[in-house]
Chains A and B, each alone.
Chain A
């Protein structure tokens, strides 16, 4: 059998004394093993780049360069959009703040929010019912001229459209609500100016004191609150003009 013959020959080759030619063969095979291991080591150590050819390296390099360019462009894009978003947020925030400020101003003007600040309280005692709507309307008018910003008459907020009339049953009709003496008019504004406006000769205080039995007192207060509110009415006809 050839297999047995091969085995016998193998044993003979392994055990026989090597000739000179066989020695050279052995040296060459040793060199092969050495070179193989060296190449494997070099390839794994450098990730294959060390043994790559020049044109391959140039290709890899230009690949990397174009990839870097692409990534840089992406970074610039993202930074631009980040900046855009941030400035957008800032603009929105500013618009929101402005809208809030306008809302507060308009709310005080239309009487839909409570207001606080320095001001005066005008108290009118009128046990005989001699102080009519005309006097208080005068007082409101005078105080508005003096810079009153929020007014409240005996629990009723007075805004631009609030009417003050004499009630047939006695007392006053303030914006549809019946109010009786003593009247208490709370006003927020410049304290001194408001007090001066009422105290001028022939002014509101003089007029009230001239009525029989009636008396008016002005109290200054650094911390006054106007808590009465008016419902917000949508205008029926007027629309904002662009």
Chain B
């Protein structure tokens, strides 16, 4: 309940404030969002498998974001930022798909 409420509050805040993304953060925000989505799907899957743990979720959420941002940062420094962020998005996308498939199996048993 409180999770759904928090998501609603966050979305509403984003819609109402319409904040401008700082230039320094611009390359990292989309990657961070994708990484967080990956952690969210992993958390839902863990909850359905009855192995969900708050601590694990928080750590995976934060570390996912940090690692993704770090990879992009290093890639930018090496001059391959575009390629590396594409790679991060691809890998996270694959993980999101597999998590979504597991969730689907749990929910629809198919």
Contacts and interface: CB of A to CB of B under 8 A. Distances in A.
A45 B90 CA distance: 25
Interface in B18-73: 18-21, 26-27, 29-30, 32-33, 36-37, 40, 43, 47-48, 54-55, 57-58, 61-62
B37 A32 contact: yes
Given A51-B21, A51-B27, A51-B29, A24 B11 contact: no
Contacts of A30: 6-7, 9-10
A66 interface: no
B40 A32 contact: yes
A19 B58 CA distance: 14
Residues of A in contact with B, size category:
35 or more
B11 A33 contact: yes
B19 A38 contact: yes
B13 interface: yes
A25 B33 contact: no
A37 B14 contact: yes
A161 interface: no
A26 B62 CA distance: 13
Nearest to B16: A37
Contacts of B79: 55
A2 B107 CA distance: 9
Contacts, number: 115
A28 interface: yes
The residue among A16, A21, A38 with the most chain B CB atoms within 10 A of its own CB is A38
Contacts of B26: 42, 50-51
A237 to B, nearest CB: 87
Contacts of B104: none
Interface residues of B, number: 44
Given A29-B3, A42-B20, A55-B82, A6 B48 contact: yes
Interface in A17-61: 18-19, 21-39, 41-43, 50-51, 53, 55-56
Contacts of A24: 54, 58
A35 B48 contact: no
B81 interface: yes
B91 interface: no
A102 to B, nearest CB: 74
Contacts of B4: 14
Contacts of A25: 3, 43, 54, 57-58
Contacts of B3: 22, 25-26, 29
Nearest to A55: B82
9 contacts: A19-B54, A28-B62, A30-B10, A35-B10, A39-B21, A39-B29, A41-B14, A51-B27, A53-B76
Interface of B: 1-11, 13-15, 18-21, 26-27, 29-30, 32-33, 36-37, 40, 43, 47-48, 54-55, 57-58, 61-62, 76, 79, 81-82, 85, 106-107, 109
